[in-house]
Structures are given as structure tokens and as C-alpha cells.
Amino acid sequence: MFLIVGIAPKTKILDHSPRICPACGLAQARLKRVDSYFNLFFIPLIRVKKGEPFIICDRCESITSETTSGYYSPWDKKKSRCNSCGGTLDGEFKYCPHCGKPVTLNIS
């Protein structure tokens, strides 16, 4: 009898609340993580490697890393305003283009 062992990936959904997918614009993106498990007879026994969390869209399968600053939803963008002067920030700015003060994003 053979022992069937191996390392296999296992996808974990970290957050079930959907996010806006930047690629297709639908709220179908979910925060997931792929961990590597030591398998015995196709049963995951021990987690050998913890994967990095990422956001993948269920519909178009485009992946957005949670850690990159490039991720934003169109809704957050609309609400981005400078704390100092209240000017709208069309994109991500370190310094406000209106008053030149450092921007701390206040997304409510």
C-alpha cells in the first residue's frame, strides 16, 4: 500500500464581504489567501506555508493585492478629500494639490 503524500494549496476566504473589483467594477472581489498544506491521502493535515492575502474577483478572476496602494474602489475615490482644505483628491496624493499640505486620507 502506498502513502499518498504531497503539498497542495488550499484557498481560504478571509473576508466574505464583497469588495468592488477594480477590473470589472462589480462587487464580486473577495479577500482570500492560499496556504500550502501537507496532504496525506488528499486530506490537508499540516499547514506548511502561510500565503499572502490577496483580493480576487469571483467573476473576472483579476487579482488585486491587498497590500498595494493601487487598490481603491470607485466609491472611496469619490469620498477622498483633503483634511486641511476639503478639496477633492482625484487619485492618490501624498500632498494636496490644492493647499500643498500632507494628505491623510479620511475615507468614511
Per CB under 5 A, residues contacting Zn ion are 21, 23-24, 57, 59-60, 82, 84-85, 87, 96, 98-99
Smallest distance from the beta carbon of 38 to Zn ion, in angstroms?
32
By C-alpha distance, which of 54, 12, 65 is closest to 37? 12
- Taking a C-beta distance cutoff of 8 angstroms, is the pair 81, 106 a contact? yes
Residue with Cβ nearer Zn ion (24 or 105) = 24
Residue with Cβ nearer Zn ion (31 or 57) = 57
Show the cell assigned to 33: 489567501
Smallest distance from the beta carbon of 103 to Zn ion, in angstroms?
7
Alpha carbon distance 80, 34 (integer Å): 32
- Taking a C-beta distance cutoff of 8 angstroms, is the pair 76, 107 a contact? yes
Residue with Cβ nearer Zn ion (23 or 105) = 23
Smallest distance from the beta carbon of 95 to Zn ion, in angstroms?
9
- Residue that has been written with the C-alpha cell 497590500 in this structure: 67
Smallest distance from the beta carbon of 69 to Zn ion, in angstroms?
19
Show the cell assigned to 52: 499572502
Residue with Cβ nearer Zn ion (39 or 81) = 81
